[in-house]
Amino acid sequence: MREKILNAAAEMFLTYGFKSVTMDDIAHKIGVSKKTIYANYSTKTKLVQATGNHLLNTISKGIEDIRNQELDPVIENFEIKRFVNQHLKGEKTSPHFQLKKYYPKIYENLHNSQFKVLQDCVSENIRRGIELGYYRKDLNLQFITRIHFIGMLGIKDKDIFPIEEYDEAALMSEFLEYHLRAICTEKGLKILDDYIHKNEK
């Protein structure tokens, strides 16, 4: 039951936002009483915390599975992007910034955990890419991982990128291409351009 609640809560929070979704809404969604929800999560805050951790764990596991496939480092970025988009699709109400505004402690904990996941993922991807000649040898790993993380957060800012003007999935594609063109060698750029020509356009 807890997993059923978490899955429903995650879908609704991402679609409608953390503020507007109520425990009644979630109970109605899965066809149980509100008492059942409260029996598993005594407050909405605890459910938000559990849902955030659930989403982070799901995405982290998916990223790990992709990394274990030992794909070409350039292509690996696109596979991770595709996976993340699938799990965060429908993000039209800026749940990221609603979480920051209404549940700041939960946001801070998840923010720190997200950075650790991304830091590990990006750093290892760049190391492999350098070894294989796809990425430049002079890259500053610490800088690249941090600027990448800041950029990923930045494209979620609906004040800078209003929903009416920008599609978040398209923004992520643009940002990823921007990131890769900044670090790729000619060899890497060839793979990038071929992939974009076949899949992204």
Mean pLDDT of 48-76: 95
Q: Smallest Cα–Cα separation from 34: which of 22, 49, 46? A: 22
Confidence of residue 52 (pLDDT cuts 50, 70, 90): very high
So where are the chain's domains? 52-200
Burial 166-188 (b: 16+ CB within 10 A, else e): eebbeebbebbbebbeebbbeeb
Identify the pLDDT of residue 95.
Answer: 81
Mean pLDDT of 89-114: 84
Mean pLDDT of 183-187: 98
Mean pLDDT of 35-39: 96
* pTM (predicted TM-score): 0.88
Decide if pLDDT at 91 tops 60.
Answer: no
The top-level CATH class assigned to 52-200 is mainly alpha
Decide if pLDDT at 201 tops 60.
Answer: no
Mean pLDDT of 44-69: 96
Separation CA 120–CA 142 (nearest Å): 11
